[in-house]
Amino acid sequence: MKSDSKIIIIDDQFNPDDDPTYIVLKEKYADVLTFVSSVEAMKELPKYLDDKIIILLDLSFPSKEPDGHKVLEKIREENKLIPVIIWSAVNENEESFSDLINNDAFGFLKRDVSTKEILTKLEEADIYLNSSVSGALENWIKSHPQGDQDKPYIISVDETELTLNDLLKEVRLQTKLGQSFSKKLNKLTIDLLLRKKENLDD
């Protein structure tokens, strides 16, 4: 079954024509986008933040461009939940990984791994996406007509009006509100499901 997630590859060395991995990914995922420039990628990324995406990110870029560390940092300023997999040929003995871990890199792939290994890692990321609150919420919001998504939908305890999209943003950035909402939502879901008060449609 084809996943509805999109794969974004940010890598100055990745050419879809050179690497059949591209073909394989195309078959399994809704779309595969590639950026050879990290500057370009950072400019374009906001467009895709509302989609379900998984990012494959290289670390070394030409010196004029921000490197993978910087790119991940920037992504995390916008979205704390997108799985970002580092895919790099760096010398592991010399590279520093602490900032990558702190910025929740989803995993690390060496440059010379097989397509299979890439697929396995991506699959993990995809499962994570679909089981996360943001993923579920996203799916649910998307099922509403476009107009409704921007209407005030919920009123928080401090009486701020939030649209569905606002709410999604809070969850993605894992703000206090977002965190507390996710927590409550999880609690409620478990409660409802286990008391068989509600049935899910699948």
Partner 1 sequence: MSNEKNNLKFRFDVSAYRLLGRELITDRITALFELVKNSYDANTDKVHVYFDSVNPKTEESKIVIQDDGLGMTLTDLKDKWMVIGTSSKRRNRESPAPYKRKVVGKKGVGRFAVDKLGAKLLLRTTKKGSDKLICLETDWSQYADLELEQLKIDFEKTKEKQQFFTDIENKYWFEDADIDIQGTTLEISKISETWTESDLKRANTELSKLISPNHQTKYPFEITIHSTDYSEFKKKVVESIAIQYATVEASLSFDFETGKQQILKAENGELRTIEVEKRSCGFLKMNIYYFDQPAKNKFKKVFSDELIDGIKVYRDGLIATPFAEYSGTQNEQKDLLGIDKRRYSYFFDRLGTRDLLGSIEITDVLNPGIIDATNRQDFVDNKEWHELRKYVIEQISQIEAYLKQTRETKKAKVDSELKGAGDDLSQIRKELNKISKSAPVEMKETIDAIEKQVAKTQVSVNKGLKTKITLEEEKKQQESLLFSLISLQTFSSTLAHITRTIIGRIKRTSEFFKERFPDPKFEEVFKKGAEKIFNEMEKLSGAIDFMLKYAKSDSKIEEVDVKTTLENLFGNIHDYTFQQEDIKYELVVKKDLILNYNQTAFEDIIENLISNSTKALMDVSEKRLIKCECLIENDKLVILFSDNGSGIKEEDQFRIFDVFYTTTAEQGGAGMGLFIIKTRLEAIQGSIELVESQFKPTGATFKITFPFKR
Q: Find the shortest distance in angstroms from Cβ 100 to partner 1.
A: 18
Cβ nearer to partner 1, comparing 110 with 151: 110
What letter represents residue 166's amino acid?
A: D
Q: Give 60's contacts (C-beta < 8 A, 6+ positions apart).
A: 12, 67, 68, 88, 89, 90
Cβ nearer to partner 1, comparing 112 with 159: 112
Whether the Cβ atoms of residue 52 and residue 82 lie closer than 8 Å to each other: no
Cβ nearer to partner 1, comparing 41 with 82: 41
Q: Find the shortest distance in angstroms from Cβ 74 to partner 1.
A: 21
Cβ nearer to partner 1, comparing 16 with 128: 16
Locate the DSSP E strands across 81-174. Answer: 84-88, 107-110, 152-155, 161-163
Binding residues for partner 1 (CB under 8 A):
12-13, 17-21, 23-24, 60, 62-64, 89-91, 94, 110-116
